[in-house]
Structure 1
Amino acid sequence: MRFSLKHIMGAMAIVLGMGSCDYLNIVPDNTIELESMFETQKQAYGALAACYEYMPNYGWLNNSMNLAGDEFIVRLDGGESGNRDRMPGEKLMKGWNSAQDPFLSYWNGNKNAASLYVGIRYCNLFLENIHLVKDIKEEDRKDWIAQVKVLKAFYHFYLTRLYGPICIVDKNLTPSASPSEVRLKRQPVDVCFKYAADLIDEVLYDENGNEKTDLKDDRPNEFLGMVDRTIAKAIKAVILVTQASPLFNGNAEYYSNFRNVDGELFFPMEKDNEKWKRALDAIKIAIDAAHARNKKLYRYNAEGGANIEFFDKDIWGKSEMIEYCYNNRYSIVDPWNDELIWGYSNVGGFDQGTFQHASQCRRMDNQGMSEYSWQWLCATYRMGELYYTKNGVPINEDQTFDYDNRLDIVTIPDDTYHLGYMQANEKTVKLYLNREPRFYSWIAVDNCYWRNHQNKLEMHMKYDEYPGGRYGTKQDDFYWSGIAIKKLVHPESLNEYAVRMVRYPNPIIRLADLYLLYAEASNEYYGPGEDAYYYLNEVRKRAGLPKVETVWSDASIVKNVNKHQTQEGLREIIQTERLIELSFEGHRYFDLCRWKRANEFFVSSVKGWNARTGRTYEDFYQVTELQARVWETPKNYLFPIPLDDINKNPNLVQNPGWGK
């Protein structure tokens, strides 16, 4: 797909005026060149590829929203953290965003984001001209049209959750369009959500509600990542969940005075709980469609231990958590596995700059070799505290966990629970003992083991230690928080040579995501019950944790007994489960925003250990503020409309807090 794209982008740029950053420049004026791009199926396929080219970037560090939030810490030296052209997701959280120079502006394509309005223009162009192709099978034409409509719906939705009310661009304008037609107005958020959901329904169902088959059920290997029917249903579910969530559903607290030029409110003032029912129904349809295609929560094919890595042969069956750790680790990095519903496939192996490259630890035998192992993208201290205890509850809820003394330095026990994941008889803090398997599978800490480079590395993250610490000639390439991220690195990736990096698609939607959305929507509409518990427990079971009803009714473990039996209590449990299960995958920022909880987390500095100078355990294990963060409510819940577009179009109203 990307090969075809190289041949088509130049011609399409001429036709659509891509040199302009004006999102209103949607009038193609060269019909001869336009028609030539739809003469053959091969040429039209290039146009289809161009529609995909505007997908938000999920894999590349300098182009992704995934750094937004409070999960990651990057290199903190001025060359990286102070560079306005690097890692714009981090800059959003430092308060650098502005209407004059917006970061990751999906509205107009500023600061490392592709303009989704340009992407929508490509989609419209494709839909208006695909009928010209003569040598294409009708079933392929219908499938391509359906794919592009789903992309168009997704682009409108992505803009809506970033900007709130947006301009809906259903068709490209003609060269004779009047100024009043060109000066589009932003539409209320419910209109925007409905437009995106209805467009997907147009693909999936006929006028009688019967399921259509224009969009194919699945894709051959070479086309994985392109939209199919299951993906379309999953996208619709995410759209309706977002619409039902507190930020968009009756948010009079933030937006009671936010109106368009005609005085119409952009946000509904009253909560409509039926939106949760519509979301619940859509999620169930998406889950059923996934199950029909044999999608399931990933479990590593260990073959009784015969298929595991050589360095774990002697502990398989002895370590209490190793099976669950393998399940969790490979659920993300095993390419196109059974759990993945939609993956972002435009992740390079020969070009550096992915989350895997930045997260990966260096080889023991070559600490100076930084190619494909930057070893500085790390986790915040907050993420280290987030994961559950081995009992499956938060560390401050577990009566068996010494929460008040969690920073005490202790010796790692030589036991079967920590076997293979923490270095016995070395030192650590109590915080890092007796945690759930996902913690040990996805997080790397001082004196843990990390399966990487086809080796089991013994991590040493204090100053002047390696692997992982600030060591050698590259004094800025270390895990600045002292907490690294295993989750995004394939255990068989080897640095120095691009061909030794194992590529995998960054997950956009996976089955665990849908399961947790179902539990959330069920609790919001019906309250606590088996319907919500079931899918929540499926995710917990794969993670190696007891059922929520079991552990939260056990007074010997939890402080707030039966918390799961109230809607508010179960809501907190489900939200925490999402924050853990989907950590570092690009969901946390959007989830905390739609729940109206961003102001609880994003206002405070991100913290870590004193990995910069801490040589001893006592010096290293000091909770240290590493970077100030800026968040203003309600301002930062919505991105700013670029000032250039506000000045060009008097019908545009700026989002609250961003000036004009």
Structure 2
Amino acid sequence: MKRLIILILSATSLYSCRKLDQPITREYTDAAYWRTNDDALAALSSCYENMSNDGYFFGDEALSDNAYVSGDGFNAVSKIANGAYDPSNGRVTAEWGYRYTCIRKCNVVVLNIDKVPGMDSTLKHRILAEARFIRAYSYFQLVNWYGNVPFYTDLITIDAAKTIGRTDKAQILDFIQSELTDIRSSLPVNNYTGTAGGYAEKDKGRITRGAAIALSARVHLFKSEWQGAVDDCEKLIGNTTNGTYGLMGNYSDIFTTANEYNNEVILDLQYGGGRTFSSQRSFLPQTVALLRSVLVPTQDLVDDYVMLNGKGIAESGSGYDENDPYKNRDPRFEATILHDKSTITDFDGKVQTILTQPGSNPSTNSIDDQGASPTGYYFYKYYDRTASNYNSSLNLIMIRYADVLLMYAEAKNELGQLDAAIWNQTIRALRVRAKFTDAGATEFPGGTKEVLQTIVRRERRAELAFEGIRPFDIRRWKIADVVLNKPVRGIKVTSGAFTKDPNGYIIVENRIFSNPKHYLWPVPTFEHDQNANLGQNDLW
């Protein structure tokens, strides 16, 4: 059982332990609360519990062209992805309530911590910084999905909640940026040694200074503030002042329980103890997880992985063989996706060969089977063989150092400054780690900003696939109306009664994404019915 600990003040030591991965069950009243450091830390734990969850982490992938969810799984995200939703959609409604619940919890901490008598100043400011980070993160999620939203930092009353209007997203983004800058000095770095300025070993998983800086860089990218993103990234790249980060030697090892808290992780969602997830049962082959496979990769994602020589499959000289489509591809492809004839070691230690083509024997994982992947692919990344009864305690990585490198490369390119030196620090480093050896893939290709933009964006997709990043990228790049406004495709087949495109690839679903309507979600029906002052986003 992993030990994610909250530090509390004690008589013999500055800190003692409380597990963040255990739900808060203590009942209390306002009058009896905020008497001890433990009270404040328990309230902070509740903020952590509401920062995110596995349903959003994995389900968000299907809000992009990387994945598809069959049926109404993951709060009906497929209805959003195919444009067949309205303000009453389950995910649209749940996201709003989830984020504001978290914001209220954070406001409780920020506004009440001064009531605790005799609290150590360092501890107090650290708790405040963590709560403000989580609040900023929650507002950032809201702005990404809804645009203008209600904004407050107090404990809003029920009456006020029924009349509050929405604040311009630019003002909220400015607040987020200001918060992330202001809290940095109160957050320790990730050296985990227990020395001054760092967290002790027992504190792994807590928000650090590096997380505040990395999230700030992400906000700058969202706002197309390229120099701001560069400045933030340079605080973490080749600079140990704000934390010691680097790339793990092997890509697949990042996403295992044995390597949690490695120095590539900047921010992760904590699981273990009383908090586990079983979402992997929805994306693994049903012969492995014994459940229907509903969250699955798309052919479009598969097609975007480059060849070992760095060329896209449609480029001249790539060496791509349509009859052997998975040969000589980006090694991260095999680490992320299971395809026809892939092998996987199941929970019982047995090696299974996954067969997805129609007519396969056995047919359990083929597209012929009702419970199998409708695209003929399965996700492999984040498969946790150590899970007990399929319930995983594996932490889910929200920000890692590879993302910082990719943000840096993107921002530098948008400034017209992506040269061989920056390439070597970023894209080349990632590809060498992925085990590319061909100079065509590792050496700086040169070219115009537009040519390099295509390479950087493709690299970002391959490196971060199935990590919940793609839906936000396609929206900030304003390409969602292109990549989501076409059919979801699966494997190429030569037999069977399947709907296929002219090239023989299965068409799973037709998607519609209207520009500008679908770039923002609507205000949920329930919220609008309670408060007419919220108005509604355009075209909804």
Q: Same fold (TM over 0.5)?
A: yes
Larger RCO, structure (CA 8 Å, separation 6 or more)? 2
Looking at structure 1, the residues matched to 61 and 318 of structure 2 have their Cα atoms a distance apart, in angstroms, of: 34
Q: How far apart are 1:605 and its partner, in Å? A: 1.5
Q: How far apart are 1:469 and its partner, in Å? A: 2.0
Does 1:104 find its partner at 2:91?
A: yes
SS at match of 1:388: coil
Q: Is the 8 A contact 2:276 2:392 kept in 1?
A: no
Hey, what does 1:505 align to over in structure 2? Answer: 395
Q: Is the 8 A contact 2:409 2:456 kept in 1?
A: yes
1:396-415, aligned counterparts within 5 Å? 396-402=314-320, 406-407=321-322
Which of 376, 379, 383 pairs up with 1:485? 379
Q: How far apart are 1:477 and its partner, in Å? A: 2.8
1:460-479, aligned counterparts within 5 Å? 460-462=355-357, 463-466=359-362, 469-470=365-366, 475-479=369-373
1:318-357, aligned counterparts within 5 Å? 327-333=250-256, 334-346=259-271, 353-354=278-279, 356-357=280-281
* 1:587-629 per-position Cα deviation (integer Å, ceiling 9, x unaligned): 11110110001111111121113789859xx9xx941111222
Does 1:636 find its partner at 2:526?
A: no
Does 1:195 find its partner at 2:89?
A: no
SS at match of 1:565: coil
Which of 129, 134, 145 pairs up with 2:128? 145
Q: How far apart are 1:165 and its partner, in Å? A: 2.3
1:239-318, aligned counterparts within 5 Å? 239-244=219-224, 275-288=225-238, 293-299=243-249
Q: How far apart are 1:644 and its partner, in Å? A: 4.1
Aligned residues: 505
Hey, what does 2:3 align to over in structure 1? Answer: none
Cα separation, partners in 2 of 1:347 and 1:581, compared to 1, 3 Å? farther
Looking at structure 2, the residues matched to 634 and 652 of structure 1 have their Cα atoms a distance apart, in angstroms, of: 20
Does 1:43 find its partner at 2:39?
A: yes
Q: Is the 8 A contact 2:294 2:373 kept in 1?
A: yes
1:347-426, aligned counterparts within 5 Å? 353-354=278-279, 356-361=280-285, 367=287, 370=289, 374-402=292-320, 406-407=321-322
SS at match of 1:609: strand
Hey, what does 1:457 align to over in structure 2? Answer: 352
Q: Is the 8 A contact 2:488 2:510 kept in 1?
A: yes
SS at match of 1:476: coil
Hey, what does 2:214 align to over in structure 1? Answer: 234
* 1:72-103 per-position Cα deviation (integer Å, ceiling 9, x unaligned): 233x4xxxx0x4x754322311324312x133
Superposition CA RMSD, Å = 3.3
1:5-84, aligned counterparts within 5 Å? 5-8=23-26, 11=28, 33-57=29-53, 59-60=54-55, 64-74=59-69, 76=70, 81=71, 83=72
Which of 328, 332, 353 pairs up with 1:438? 332
* 1:502-534 per-position Cα deviation (integer Å, ceiling 9, x unaligned): 632111001111100000001111343235413
Q: Is the 8 A contact 2:276 2:391 kept in 1?
A: no
Which of 82, 103, 106 pairs up with 1:123? 106
SS at match of 1:115: helix
* 1:457-499 per-position Cα deviation (integer Å, ceiling 9, x unaligned): 3332234534862499xx5332221112212213x447xx42x
Q: How far apart are 1:139 and its partner, in Å? A: 2.1
Q: How far apart are 1:5 and its partner, in Å? A: 3.9
Cα separation, partners in 2 of 1:643 and 1:477, compared to 1, 3 Å? closer
Moved more, 639-648 or 285-294: 285-294
Hey, what does 2:188 align to over in structure 1? Answer: 216
SS at match of 1:523: helix
SS at match of 2:461: helix
Looking at structure 2, the residues matched to 3 and 574 of structure 1 have their Cα atoms a distance apart, in angstroms, of: 36
SS at match of 1:526: coil
Cα separation, partners in 2 of 1:124 and 1:238, compared to 1, 3 Å? same
Looking at structure 2, the residues matched to 432 and 379 of structure 1 have their Cα atoms a distance apart, in angstroms, of: 14
The unaligned stretches of length 5 or more in structure 1 are 12-32, 205-211, 245-274, 300-326, 408-428, 554-561
Does 1:520 find its partner at 2:436?
A: no
Which of 545, 557, 563 pairs up with 2:436? 545
Cα separation, partners in 2 of 1:390 and 1:131, compared to 1, 3 Å? same
Hey, what does 2:483 align to over in structure 1? Answer: 601
* 1:291-332 per-position Cα deviation (integer Å, ceiling 9, x unaligned): 864321111xxxxxxxxxxxxxxxxxxxxxxxxxxx222222
Looking at structure 2, the residues matched to 103 and 195 of structure 1 have their Cα atoms a distance apart, in angstroms, of: 29
Looking at structure 1, the residues matched to 36 and 489 of structure 2 have their Cα atoms a distance apart, in angstroms, of: 56
Looking at structure 2, the residues matched to 88 and 528 of structure 1 have their Cα atoms a distance apart, in angstroms, of: 40
Q: How far apart are 1:348 and its partner, in Å? A: 8.0
Q: Is the 8 A contact 1:63 1:112 kept in 2?
A: no
Counterpart amino acid of residue 133 in structure 2: V
Does 1:89 find its partner at 2:77?
A: yes
Counterpart amino acid of residue 394 in structure 1: G
Looking at structure 2, the residues matched to 68 and 329 of structure 1 have their Cα atoms a distance apart, in angstroms, of: 24
Looking at structure 2, the residues matched to 286 and 652 of structure 1 have their Cα atoms a distance apart, in angstroms, of: 39
Cα separation, partners in 2 of 1:433 and 1:186, compared to 1, 3 Å? same
Hey, what does 1:184 align to over in structure 2? Answer: 164
Q: Is the 8 A contact 1:375 1:479 kept in 2?
A: yes
Hey, what does 1:317 align to over in structure 2? Answer: none
Counterpart amino acid of residue 33 in structure 2: M
Hey, what does 2:194 align to over in structure 1? Answer: none
Looking at structure 1, the residues matched to 241 and 252 of structure 2 have their Cα atoms a distance apart, in angstroms, of: 22
Counterpart amino acid of residue 295 in structure 1: Y
Q: Is the 8 A contact 2:23 2:274 kept in 1?
A: no
Looking at structure 1, the residues matched to 275 and 139 of structure 2 have their Cα atoms a distance apart, in angstroms, of: 32
Q: Is the 8 A contact 2:431 2:441 kept in 1?
A: no
Q: How far apart are 1:452 and its partner, in Å? A: 4.4
Hey, what does 1:253 align to over in structure 2? Answer: none
Looking at structure 1, the residues matched to 90 and 272 of structure 2 have their Cα atoms a distance apart, in angstroms, of: 22
Q: Percent identity?
A: 22
Looking at structure 2, the residues matched to 481 and 97 of structure 1 have their Cα atoms a distance apart, in angstroms, of: 23
Cα separation, partners in 2 of 1:645 and 1:360, compared to 1, 3 Å? closer
Greater Cα radius of gyration, structure 1 or 2 = 1
Q: Is the 8 A contact 2:268 2:397 kept in 1?
A: yes
Counterpart amino acid of residue 37 in structure 2: Q
Moved more, 139-148 or 290-299: 290-299
Looking at structure 1, the residues matched to 147 and 438 of structure 2 have their Cα atoms a distance apart, in angstroms, of: 37
Hey, what does 1:447 align to over in structure 2? Answer: 341
